[in-house]
Structure 1
Amino acid sequence: MLLPRLRTCLPAALAGAGLLLSGCARPAVGSDRDDPTAPVTLNFWHGWSTPDEVKAIDDSIARFERLHPHIRVRATGNVTDDTMNQALRAGGGDAPDVVSSFTTNNVGQYCSSGMWADLDPFLKKTGVVKEKVFPKPLLAYTQYRGKQCALPLLADTYGLYYNKDAFEKAGISRPPHTMSELKKDAVELTRRTTDGTYRQLGFMPNFRLYQNSPDRLFAQWGPTYFDRNGKAQLAKDPATKDFFTTQRELIDAQGGYGPTERFRTTFGDEMSSQNAFLTGKLAMHMDGEWRGLLLRKAPAPFAWGTAPMPVPDDRADTYGRGCLTGTVAGIAHSSRHQNAAWELVKFLTVDTDQVVAFANALHNVPSTNAALTSPKLDADPTFRTFLGIAAHPHSTALPPSINGAQYVTALQDFGYDVEAGKVRDLDAGLRGLDAQIDADTLQSEN
């Protein structure tokens, strides 16, 4: 079973970011002069920790070692970014050679700090054309300012889960495709008890719910966070104001911020049997591809389906898009076995059969174009919804930044104030948000 990894604007991610920003300008130096055919033991550090996840990693390593009998891999799991970054700065024989991270927002720091090696020379000398192998959005979040210091290692996509039984009772024939349809359906699906409190909410758009980080819903607008000079431009992009306005309208249409927030506090833990969608308190819910596996294992006491998240009405032709993120893998700059390490990274990220087997084992979205269309993938249609989202040309990922998730956290904090009605002038508030993001970026660069 795969649990969702927190990949965006969360305090745990920022803890790692803080370590990256302090004292990382001189990472330990390794070597790319090793003979990849010579016997060697590689240290591979990763974040997976549950029994099913560890088994999937161990199976992958076993497949690699059968192909490369001279290379042994010593895997260390449940490693956080901050622990990894301390080891990369220190170097030494116990430091990792191959590294992976769930925090794609830190790629900008991995690349700019020099702690993760540039992979372009390895790609070129082994004939891997990255633009052909990887979907464009996934490739985008593994590089920063022209430096390809990571590669995608499975992906997560976000879509809409909906209660088919509730839809049938409400006379709704299909999931919503546009934001106006989402609002209309959410109102029709909302149910109250005799005393007026909620029994079921059609759709909870509040940003404090589970996976409802603002950047994930904002992806449906295809926003541009920064201009070509790296300056924040959220205030200049009309999509930003429309996004926040639409989110407030979704809240207001179902009773307002106060009542919906109070209802949210009655929800159980996201990963428990009291999850709000699983218990029927939500008729529609934004979540990642892993949720389907958990709903089947529970099992859910109702029929359910999946669909892409709705899009703005004026962008109806982009329906099918979604927010993408994922795990990334790379080579430690401090490794003295970088060519051998590349063989492992290449196997984990490029080999189609390996990517498919790993994706099926973890119930994640595969991260190469060939794997996305493989007939060996899980055929479950509720899962294949997310494969379509990953392959959609309008799907987007967050752009990397030198200070990691800091700009996403600023967006999240601003979103909390907007939905609560604390931002009276949205235009002025967005200008202030841009100024804050630019100030944070300048501080990191200095």
Structure 2
Amino acid sequence: MAQPARRGRRTAAALAVAASLALTAAACTGQPNSGAQGSTGSTDKPVTITFWHGWSQPNELAAINANIAGFEKLHPNIKVNAVKAVSADTITQGMRATGANAPDVVSDFSTTDVGKFCSTGAWIDLNPLMEKDKIDPKTVFSPAMLSYTQYKGDQCSLPLLGDAYGLYYNVDMFKAAGIASPPKTYSELAADAVKLTKGDGSQQLGYMPLWDYYEQNTGYVGGQYNPTYFTADGKANLAADPTWPALFAWQKDLVGKLGGYTHLEKLRTGYGDEFAANAFDKGKVAMQLDGEWRVANLQQDKVSFNWATAPFPVPDDQAASYGRGFQTGTVIGINRNSQKQAAAWEFVKYMTTNTGALVTFANAIDNVPSTIAALKSPDLKLPSTFQTFLNVAKNPNSVTQPATPDGDGYVTILQNLGLDLQSGKQTDVMAGLKKADTDVDNSLAQAATN
């Protein structure tokens, strides 16, 4: 269930401004050792490094190329050969290549690859480089972003912009239903979902609780509990953590109140594509969990109703943590087979810690900046409805999912259990969780032998 980092749509004018600003980003302050040529920096001889990335849309390419130009202006002896639209599978294969066929720097939309690349050493540990350049990652990056870019203390990647999740809600529907503010707890979410539903929900559904509805899944919604996925010795902890029985019970109860699984599944499959004909965008659903990119989608589509964003609700017994959210995003690392690691580090350092570069990049592609300094920058030019996601990224209690050597094995196993429970294929929650633990442990053991 790994989700790629999403990208919003920006106007040509905004991109032109972003490109211009990125060329001067090297002069911006507020980031550690921005552009410094220290002992870990590039050599004095001209060098070309190869940078693989997944961006492919015109606005994305304009933004990333502007940042590359800004870096090259600061480092005239380093040229960057950027290769666009590189898939996750190609990245995995490229880590095995050597010589001219091997990339020096790679960005990856799939945070679930981090555990694999860290545990195998495919990407080098950046801790020694940051230590030499006096970069303290704990003061530069938010806790959640720092968490999803490392595995067992090996900081083999750093965040390069991010995604944050929150609640989108139809303000007009809320007013019509007499609801003054968005829900803050799961019990309020369920109550509002029922109140906002008209008839059987075919015309208007308050909230779609099924685990395979767009961005909604067990990990993102369950993450609001801040669960412990693994024990101290690395064993699966799903059955022992109270999160999952509570989450599945909450969902089952709400599914029943909204007409049952069969009815909701019929509605879900009748909704349009997430990005081409989203049910929330079409006014069929009053609330949904979604990422920051939908702000741009809603504005671009000029929807006919008033809408707003808020942090996603939290479990009732954790009401004090309201404001947190789930985070993921793009990561960037250095290939161990690179023969130009010093120059590669200068590039990675610039891309991930230069406040000006991060801010112009975030402005251009509607993503969440990945450093604390960039999140606080007055130069961010994002819509007011985007503030929810900036706040989530700044919130020290926001959550993510830990990296594992098998990629997203445990995430997929947990999601599949959720799907089986909601459809009735599995009826015993604890038995399902215990089997999930066994399956996760087996997946990790297999990864360790590969």
If the length of structure 1 is used for normalisation, what is the TM-score?
A: 0.91
Residue of structure 2 in register with 1:29 after alignment: none
Residue of structure 2 in register with 1:6 after alignment: 4
Assess if the C-alpha contact under 8 Å between 1:293 and 1:363 holds in 2.
yes
Q: CA deviation at 1:197?
A: 6.0
Letter of the 2:296 partner, please give it: L
Q: CA deviation at 1:428?
A: 1.5
> Is residue 382 of structure 1 aligned with residue 385 of structure 2?
yes
Letter of the 2:237 partner, please give it: Q
Assess if the C-alpha contact under 8 Å between 1:7 and 1:104 holds in 2.
no
Letter of the 1:158 partner, please give it: Y
Q: How big is each residue's C-alpha offset from its partner over 1:276-312, in whole Å with a ceiling of 9 and x where there is no partner?
A: 0111110001100000001000011100000011111
Residue of structure 2 in register with 1:134 after alignment: 141
Q: CA deviation at 1:255?
A: 1.1
- Pairs within 5 Å for 1:413-428: 413-428=416-431
Q: Distance in 2 between matches of 1:35 and 1:46?
A: 21
Pairing partner for 2:242 from 238, 241, 246: 238
Assess if the C-alpha contact under 8 Å between 1:34 and 1:337 holds in 2.
no
Q: Alignment length, in residue pairs? A: 416
Residue of structure 2 in register with 1:229 after alignment: 233
Q: 1:37 to 1:250 in 2, by over 3 A?
A: farther
Assess if the C-alpha contact under 8 Å between 2:366 and 2:382 holds in 1.
no
Pairing partner for 1:95 from 88, 97, 102: 102
The percentage of counterpart residues that share the same residue type is 48
Letter of the 2:340 partner, please give it: H
Residue of structure 2 in register with 1:441 after alignment: 444
Q: 1:245 to 1:310 in 2, by over 3 A?
A: same
Q: 1:6 to 1:142 in 2, by over 3 A?
A: same
Gaps of 5+ in 1: 9-31
> Is residue 157 of structure 1 aligned with residue 164 of structure 2?
yes
Letter of the 1:406 partner, please give it: G
> Is residue 204 of structure 1 aligned with residue 208 of structure 2?
yes
Pairing partner for 2:173 from 157, 166, 172: 166
Letter of the 1:385 partner, please give it: T
RMSD: 1.6
- Pairs within 5 Å for 1:61-76: 61-76=68-83
Residue of structure 2 in register with 1:24 after alignment: none
Q: How big is each residue's C-alpha offset from its partner over 1:237-275, in whole Å with a ceiling of 9 and x where there is no partner?
A: 111110111111221121111111100111111111x21
Letter of the 1:68 partner, please give it: H
Letter of the 2:127 partner, please give it: D
Q: CA deviation at 1:422?
A: 2.5
Residue of structure 2 in register with 1:25 after alignment: none
Residue of structure 2 in register with 1:358 after alignment: 361
Residue of structure 2 in register with 1:344 after alignment: 347
Assess if the C-alpha contact under 8 Å between 2:363 and 2:382 holds in 1.
no
Assess if the C-alpha contact under 8 Å between 2:5 and 2:163 holds in 1.
no
Q: How big is each residue's C-alpha offset from its partner over 1:403-430, in whole Å with a ceiling of 9 and x where there is no partner?
A: 0011111011111011112322211211
Assess if the C-alpha contact under 8 Å between 2:40 and 2:345 holds in 1.
no
Q: Distance in 2 between matches of 1:59 and 1:240?
A: 44
Residue of structure 2 in register with 1:304 after alignment: 307
**Equivalent position SS for 1:386:** helix
Q: CA deviation at 1:395?
A: 0.8
Letter of the 2:61 partner, please give it: V
Q: Distance in 2 between matches of 1:359 and 1:37?
A: 31
Gaps of 5+ in 2: 7-38
Residue of structure 1 in register with 2:326 after alignment: 323
Pairing partner for 1:295 from 269, 287, 298: 298
Letter of the 1:251 partner, please give it: V
> Is residue 185 of structure 1 aligned with residue 192 of structure 2?
yes
> Is residue 40 of structure 1 aligned with residue 47 of structure 2?
yes
Q: How big is each residue's C-alpha offset from its partner over 1:152-178, in whole Å with a ceiling of 9 and x where there is no partner?
A: 111101100000011111111000001
> Is residue 260 of structure 1 aligned with residue 264 of structure 2?
yes
Residue of structure 2 in register with 1:18 after alignment: none
Letter of the 2:172 partner, please give it: D
Assess if the C-alpha contact under 8 Å between 1:34 and 1:336 holds in 2.
no
Q: Distance in 2 between matches of 1:55 and 1:187?
A: 44
Q: How big is each residue's C-alpha offset from its partner over 1:77-135, in whole Å with a ceiling of 9 and x where there is no partner?
A: 11012112212202121321110101101101001111111111211111111111111
**Equivalent position SS for 1:158:** strand
Pairing partner for 2:283 from 251, 272, 280: 280
> Is residue 59 of structure 1 aligned with residue 70 of structure 2?
no
